[in-house]
């Protein structure tokens, strides 16, 4: 039951997506590892029937465009 509680605190497939992004950012780039992580993310998306991903602050940025002046 602890796993279910911790899973609800994160978006669906969040860990798989984060692992893949971090893999792509690593230097040197390990294509085989990243492909395995991509497959893992794809399986999660299919299993959980994910339709679309969004960033946590995406709605805030769309509602209030950043206008930083230097």
55 versus 35: which is more confidently predicted? 35
Burial of 54 (0-12, 13-18, 19+ CB in 10 A): exposed
Cα(34)–Cα(28) distance, rounded to whole angstroms? 12
Residue 13: both structure tokens together: 């497939």
Q: Above 80 in pLDDT, residue 64?
A: no
Number of other residues whose CB lies within 10 A of the CB of residue 16: 19
| Whole-number Cα distances in Å, 29 to 14, 41, 48, 60, 65 | 21, 18, 28, 33, 34
What's the confidence (pLDDT) of residue 56? 78
The per-residue pLDDT for range 21-41, each reduced to its tens digit, is: 999 999 999 999 999 999 999
Per mean pLDDT, which range of 16-25, 35-44, 46-55 is the poorest? Answer: 46-55
What's the confidence (pLDDT) of residue 53? 87
Q: Above 80 in pLDDT, residue 66?
A: no
């Amino acid at each position: 039951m602890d796993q279910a509680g911790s899973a609800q605190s994160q978006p669906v497939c969040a860990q798989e997506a984060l692992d893949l992004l971090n893999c792509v950012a690593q230097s040197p780039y390990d294509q085989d590892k990243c492909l395995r992580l991509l497959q893992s993310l794809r399986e999660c998306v299919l299993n959980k029937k994910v339709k679309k991903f969004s960033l946590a602050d995406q709605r805030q940025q769309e509602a209030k465009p950043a206008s930083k002046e230097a």
